[in-house]
């Protein structure tokens, strides 16, 4: 079994909450490694923005792969990659992209069950997405490849009707289809989090959003992983704007050295 995969998988199995920083380039990844974080994960939205692309697979996969390779080149800790909808329109095409990520040395991926069309982002039918997931898992198994499949379900992000029931149905399907973990971005209420945790044997991943319970509370609720999404990236570049304003106000570069 791949040592990087094994290390990454074990981070989801302990009693301590796994805090995963989301990165967008090699330097941001290296900084978190220096601070002692045990792994890093890309934010596709942050990577796309850093390269001047729109989120939602507006970024060419080859551009993304270049940055991923540069990240794994500087990291000693596992890296997980957010591949959005898979950057492919079939299980074979998605698996081909995943194979290139495996060659680059990644330990895991996030793949989401919504798609973006003419009317915006909508959920894929649960059964068809589960079939895609199962096909990818079967290809990985046949190749003897080890990769942590963290499946993002967008029921809360999209605030769909009957989202708790819809989420629980999808959790069961995705667990049976070979997922290693479940990611529910925008879930924040303690009761909903507890319900999701109790409805699957897979480790639950949540994302920082306004109103998310404190880390210690998440740990008590049984959440195994929490990630930062694009929000750290946004704060970093908001700070760039604040510094430029401070330089203009001061009439000097002194604000850069305070």
* 237, 28 contact by CB (below 8 A): no
> Given a cut of 80, is residue 2 above it in pLDDT?
no
For residue 174, give the nearest of 123, 102, 119 by alpha carbon: 123
> Given a cut of 90, is residue 249 above it in pLDDT?
yes
- Give the pairing of strands 22-23 and 40-42: parallel
Q: In the prediction, which pLDDT does 118 show?
A: 81
Mean pLDDT, the chain, whole residue set: 96
- Angle at CA of residue 208, ends 204 and 210, nearest 5°: 125
> Given a cut of 60, is residue 1 above it in pLDDT?
no
Q: In the prediction, which pLDDT does 258 show?
A: 87
Residue 36's pLDDT band (cuts 50, 70, 90): very high
List, for residues 118-129, the tens digit of each pLDDT value.
889 999 999 999
* 216, 208 contact by CB (below 8 A): no
Residue 252's pLDDT band (cuts 50, 70, 90): very high
Tell me the C-alpha to C-alpha distance, in Å, between residue 233 and each of 44, 67, 134, 184. 11, 16, 33, 20
> Given a cut of 90, is residue 3 above it in pLDDT?
no
212: three-class secondary structure by DSSP: coil
List, for residues 18-28, the tens digit of each pLDDT value.
999 999 999 99
**Predicted model pTM:** 0.95
Percent of the chain with pLDDT over 70: 100
Read off the pLDDT of each residue in 32-59 and give the average, rounded to a whole number.
Answer: 97
Read off the pLDDT of each residue in 76-98 and give the average, rounded to a whole number.
Answer: 97
List, for residues 206-227, the tens digit of each pLDDT value.
999 999 999 999 999 999 999 9
Q: In the prediction, which pLDDT does 153 show?
A: 98
> Given a cut of 70, is residue 6 above it in pLDDT?
yes
Q: In the prediction, which pLDDT does 119 show?
A: 83
């Amino acid at each position: 079994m791949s040592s990087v995969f094994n290390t990454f998988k074990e981070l989801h199995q302990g009693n301590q909450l796994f805090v995963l920083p989301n990165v967008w380039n090699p330097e941001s990844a290296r900084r978190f490694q220096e601070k002692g974080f045990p792994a890093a994960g890309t934010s596709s939205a942050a990577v796309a923005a850093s390269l001047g692309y729109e989120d939602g697979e507006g970024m060419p996969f080859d551009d993304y792969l270049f940055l991923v390779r540069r990240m794994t080149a500087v990291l000693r800790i596992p890296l997980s990659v957010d591949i959005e909808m898979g950057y492919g329109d079939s299980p074979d095409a998605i698996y081909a992209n995943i194979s290139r990520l495996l060659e680059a040395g990644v330990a895991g991926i996030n793949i989401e069950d919504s798609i973006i069309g003419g009317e915006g982002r909508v959920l894929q039918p649960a059964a068809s997405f589960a079939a895609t997931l199962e096909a990818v898992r079967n290809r990985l198994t046949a190749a003897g490849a080890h990769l942590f499949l963290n499946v993002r379900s967008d029921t809360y992000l999209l605030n769909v009707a009957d989202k708790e029931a819809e989420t629980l149905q999808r959790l069961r399907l995705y667990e049976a289809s070979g997922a290693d973990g479940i990611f529910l971005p925008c879930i924040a209420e303690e009761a909903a989090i507890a319900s999701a945790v109790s409805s699957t044997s897979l480790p639950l991943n949540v994302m920082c959003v306004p109103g998310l319970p404190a880390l210690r509370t998440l740990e008590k609720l049984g959440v195994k992983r929490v990630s930062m999404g694009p929000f750290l990236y946004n704060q970093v570049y908001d700070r760039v704007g604040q510094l430029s304003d401070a330089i203009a106000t001061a009439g000097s570069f002194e604000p850069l050295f305070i």
